[in-house]
Structure 1
Amino acid sequence: MSLTINDLNIIEYLTKWYISLPLLLVVYKLFDVFYEIYLRNKLGAKRETNIESDGYFGFKMPFIMIKKKDDGVLPDFSVERYENLLNPNIATYSFKIFTTKLFATKDPENIKAILATQFNDFSLGLRHAQFAPLLGNGIFTLDKEGWKDSRQMLRPQFAREQISHVKMLEPHIQILFKHIRKNLGNTFDLQELFFRLTVDSASEFLFGESVESLKDESIGFHIEDFAGKKEFAKSFNSAQDSMSVRSKLQKLYWLYNPKHFQQCIKVVHTFAQHYVQKALSLTPEELDKQEGYVFLYELAKQTRDPKVLQDQLLNILVAGRDTTAGLLSFVFFELARNPEIFKKLKEELYSKFGFGKDARVEEITFESLKNCEYLKAVLNETLRLYPSVPQNFRLAIKDTTLPHGGGKDGLSPVLIRKNTTVTYSVYATHRSEEFYGKDSTIFRPERWFEPETRKLGWAFLPFNGGPRICLGQQFALTEASYVTTRLIQEFSNLSMNPNTKYPPKKSSHLTMSLFDGLNIEMS
């Protein structure tokens, strides 16, 4: 077979490209290196002090992280990564995921810059694309004007007069008591009940009626079901787990879209649509006549778009359900393994509100809970060791810098180029000896009465900071305080198996909770 002139021309063309392409890549890489040097000089930055490598150009790290998450040790792994750096005293480093360069930091000054002083240099990046299948367009997924609009919609929810209505929690607490008593002092999973309690209270507060997930046949209730209700909690948890995997894959998030993720989304959306349709079935006149403040009804006065209502509903459920349930679970986990702390907290609560048949429930108010100093210390210490959102991230939308992480000593600014993701771990910050001393990993509420805690600033950040600081901060603390108080009033004995593993494994999705549940005894 002989080659034609055309064939020879094609071969010559391809040969030129095979030779030129590697050369072009080398030229591009050199240009990129020199451009980065130019940017560092222009912005007064220095090369990062610490560079973490997985030895495989970042192809190994995502799978390591997913494995750590599946094993319940991902938050603790984030701490270990800092300890294994070439210079572990520097709280910032760069690393790669699928060849893409990212930065990680636990430095309070850098976190402050990302969330506050340089707020406009960063965005949520890929979060919308990664989380949108479940959460759509809401306060957790939107940036800029969309986020501002969502925040404005939600702000009235958390006004002080709304927070003060703790009495609406009491009927749900009574149902919770029934579940605890049915165990007759035997070991049971309290965390599972906390998740049901918080979805019940959140749905009533936000949507006008409770989903009543605590009311089941095991305590003599039969509740009328609707599509998605029974499967909601499990599906919501599973969907968040899938979104966590998608976030670890960064730009390749779209590769992870399994069938079970899609099925869970369908269940959750069916659940949400039940409430949306109920709100839309009311006329504007009927909405105006509704008593009290109900978020969904107020929002339905502004839009009749069922997708907008559904998305905001699910975004708020993440905040109203998961964070408070996780906080309560970690509170009682530590109380069960620290009898002296539990005793001290009981003494404070009993002296203020009584206990058992002499419990003065009517005296437990927003204002009186704020005066329980040791209770506040217990909650702060829990949020320190177990922040609801242990790790978060932002994407640089322009060439910028962070205050620390560059130069030999790590004290110089470090360059963050446009479209670079920066992860920040408040979980790691909260466990730093630099801010919390040699006992930084020990649960010790008394530290919150020491002068040093007044100087923590951005080293204590359980509810984020800056313009996107959590709107529901006081709401969550009030609910957690009330539930903790009522449980301790009713059940004076609390214990767990002394062989329970410590530190506990942790589930880390959008929020954090106990990986193996909260298996304790109460009587």
Structure 2
Amino acid sequence: MLSILETKSALLLITSLSILTIGYFRVSRYLEIRNFKKLHNCQPPIRAPQSERIIGLSAFLKVLAFRRDHVSLEQTLKKGLEIGRTNTAVILGQNIVFTCDPENLKTVLATNFLDYGLGPRVHFMGPLLGEGIFTSDDVAWHHSRDLIRPCFTRTQIADLEALENHVQALISCLPPNGTTVDLQPLFYNFTIDSATEFLVGQSVGCQGSGPGSAGWEFSQALDYAEAAIEKRNALGKHAWLLRDPKFHESCKIVHRFTENFINETLKGNSKPGRYNLLDELANSCRDPIRLRNELLNVLVAARDTTASLLGSIFYFLARHPDTWDKLRVEVGELNGRLPDYQTLKDMKYLKSVLNETLRLIPPVPLNERFARKDTVLPHGGGPDGQSPIFVAKESRVVSSVYAMHRLPEIWGNDAHLYRPERWLDEKLRPGWGFLAFNGGPRTCLGQQKALVETSYTVVRLLQVFDRIEPRDNQPWLEKLAISVTNVNGTKVAFWKAP
């Protein structure tokens, strides 16, 4: 009897101590947060309406429904316009701070850069990309960036001779007589061919290839792996719940294909010829896994961003014949000559077309960071949303560049309209309100290369074709992956210039 009482007393003591300990830490945390908020003049954040804020299951189901219906981006715009440019929610137990406020993006990406990290990105992207420039933080990220930066010099960007070969292959796939063609897969073939030539010195030759070829298999595996990554991203830290053997098999196919080039280079068997990234990286790194990771990180960005942008440009050009005609006038000033780097930089209307497309359909329309410590955003608090808000450690900050690029206070009441001429107005100074290629220390290293390749391709197609028409009347709906495209593709018809 005594031993039973002693056991009960011990259990009661342990339980009491546990409750006191938990209570102590909760009170301490509460006081810590209260003092932090007071120090930084934080106000209560604007809250997005939701039925419960403990687990946030219903909010998560809404997110899945928006993705299923391909309207996630429009919902971020609606949320930003109707609830507040910055607002908070709880989804699957995770504190979410949504923002499309330029000052908040500047704070996350630049001013307080060290307060935020990539969080679990390496876990859901790692099986494909490993540890590289887009999946790493801190020292590893610095090493990757320092390794890659020298490869994007003006000399490399301005070399357009190799690109012309891929443009010719693209043009050969485009019927010139008004037959419908979906440009989106052709642009992906085009960019993977040009990107692999720049990266490893040889094109995989996807354009014009079919099932059974090594390049086709590589491209298909990459497509599947990227689509699977987007699903994993939607689940965040719960991505481990997904079981997808095909995802891991696709990653293996991509890895094997890439490793063949790496092994030949490390053996000294690479073919002499034009500059390529792999040869340059191999001069300072002999680790095959590190080389594979860095190459794939750059490949995915180079292929997807440019293909996305090209598809969006021709989506708009097909629906805006006045823009097509104005652009053809500017292109016509070349008198059929192939444009060089400086010529492309000097084409003002072409630049306006690119910027307006990047504004309305940025290739990477959503971004996210995770708070590595308790920190502050300058906007989002108080009744008007203009006061600072507290961001707790481990909070997920989701920024919608798509929504920010459509805010009327930055772009005017016609922010939803496609109007390249707005960029010819010297008074337009969007600053951090225009973030087509990220900002701060993580600004895209390949930005200029993507813009030059896109500009060159647009000019060459307008030199060949004198008319374009849309061949579907469907509204633009997002297909989210690493870069965004139209779920309906880019179906158009061309007529060849005489």
What's the TM-score, normalizing by structure 1? 0.88
* Contact kept? 1:43, 1:400, Cα under 8 Å: no
**Structure 1 residue 339: Cα displacement:** 1.1
Pairing 1:347–2:340 present: no
Q: Distance in 2 between matches of 1:9 and 1:323?
A: 68
2:178 is paired with a residue whose SS is coil
Verify the 8 A CA contact 1:399 1:416 in the aligned structure 2: yes
Contact 2:206 2:219 in 1 (8 A): no
Q: Which letter maps to 1:461?
A: L
SS at match of 1:154: helix
Moved beyond 6 Å, runs of 4+: 4-27
Distance 1:442 1:13, change over 3 A: farther
Alpha-carbon contact 2:116-2:372 (below 8 Å) kept: yes
User: Structure 1: which 5+ residue stretches go unaligned?
Assistant: 218-222
Query: What is aligned with 1:220?
Result: none
The superposition leaves residues 333-382 of structure 1 with CA deviations (integer Å, 9 ceiling, x where unpaired) of: 000011111111111111x223xxxx222xx0010011111111000000
Q: Which amino acid aligns with 2:249?
A: Q
Instruction: Give the AA of the match of 1:345.
Output: L
Shift of 1:384: 0.1
Question: Which among 363, 370, 380 is matched to residue 345 of structure 2?
Answer: 370
8 A contact 2:366–2:402 mirrored in 1: yes
Match of 1:510 among 469, 478, 482: 482
* C-alpha distance after superposition, 1:135-180 (max 9, x if no partner): 1011000111111111111112211111111121111111111111
Q: Secondary structure at the match of 2:172?
A: helix
Please point out which of 68, 74, 77 is paired with 1:76: 74
The answer (yes or no) to whether the contact 1:324–1:476 under 8 Å persists in 2 is yes
Contact map agreement 1:66 1:245 (CA 8 A) in 2: no
Q: Do 2:313 and 2:354's aligned partners in 1 also have CA atoms closer than 8 Å?
A: yes
Question: Partners in 1 of 2:412 and 2:59 — Cα distance?
Answer: 31
Q: Which residue of 2 aligns with 1:447?
A: 422
**Contact preservation (8 Å) 2:99, 2:397:** yes
Q: How far 1:232 sits from its partner (Å)?
A: 2.1
Residue 240 of structure 1: how far off its partner (Å): 1.7
Shift of 1:49: 3.0
- Give the secondary-structure state (helix, strand or coil) at the position aligned to 2:216: coil
Deviation of 1:14 after TM superposition, in Å, equals: 6.7
In the alignment, which residue of structure 1 is the partner of 2:207? 214
Q: What residue number does 2:136 align with?
A: 142
Map 1:414-433 to 2 at 5 A: 414-433=389-408
Is 1:52–1:94's contact at 8 Å kept on the other side of the alignment? Answer: no
Provide the alpha-carbon RMSD of the alignment.
2.4
Measured in 2, the distance between the counterparts of 1:20 and 1:51 equals 38
Superimposed CA distance per residue, residues 373-429 of structure 1 (whole angstroms, 9 cap, x where no aligned partner): 111100000000011110111122222211111223222211112222211111110
Q: Specify every segment of 5 or more residues in structure 2 that has no aligned partner in the other structure, as ranges.
A: none
2:473 pairs with one of 492, 500, 503: 500
Structure 1 window deviating more from structure 2 (153-162 vs 67-76): it is 67-76
Please tell me whether residue 387 in structure 1 is matched to residue 381 in structure 2: no
Q: State how 1:228-243 maps to structure 2 within 5 Å.
A: 229-243=215-229
Range with greater deviation from structure 2 (136-145 or 16-25): 16-25
- Match status 1:39 vs 2:33: no
Alignment-derived partner of residue 406 in structure 1: 381
1:3-152 correspondence to structure 2 within 5 Å: 31-53=28-50, 55=52, 57=54, 58-85=56-83, 88=84, 91-152=85-146
Deviation sequence 1:5-58 (CA, Å, 0-9, x none): 777776777788889878876776555444322220123322213344353632
Q: Are positions 1:490 and 2:464 aligned together?
A: yes
User: What is the TM-score when the length of structure 2 is the normalising length?
Assistant: 0.92
Question: Secondary structure at 1:265's aligned position in 2?
Answer: helix
Q: Take 1:65 and 1:72, find their aligned partners in 2: how far apart are those partners?
A: 10
Q: How many residues align?
A: 494
For 2:206 and 2:4, the matched residues in 1 are separated by 72
Give SS of 1:516's match. coil
Of all paired residues, the percent bearing the same amino acid is 36
Counterparts of 2:436 and 2:51 in 1: how far apart (Å)? 30
After superposition, residues 460-471 of structure 1 pair within 5 angstroms as 460-471=434-445
**Aligned mates of 1:439, 1:265 — CA distance in 2:** 43
Letter of the aligned partner of 1:42 in structure 2?
A: L
Partner secondary structure for residue 405 of structure 1:
strand
Residues of 2 paired with 1:509 and 1:410: CA distance?
31
Match of 1:360 in 2: 337
Q: Secondary structure of the equivalent of 2:330?
A: helix
2:181 partner letter: F
2:153 alignment partner, one of 147, 159, 170:
159
Aligned to 1:307: 289
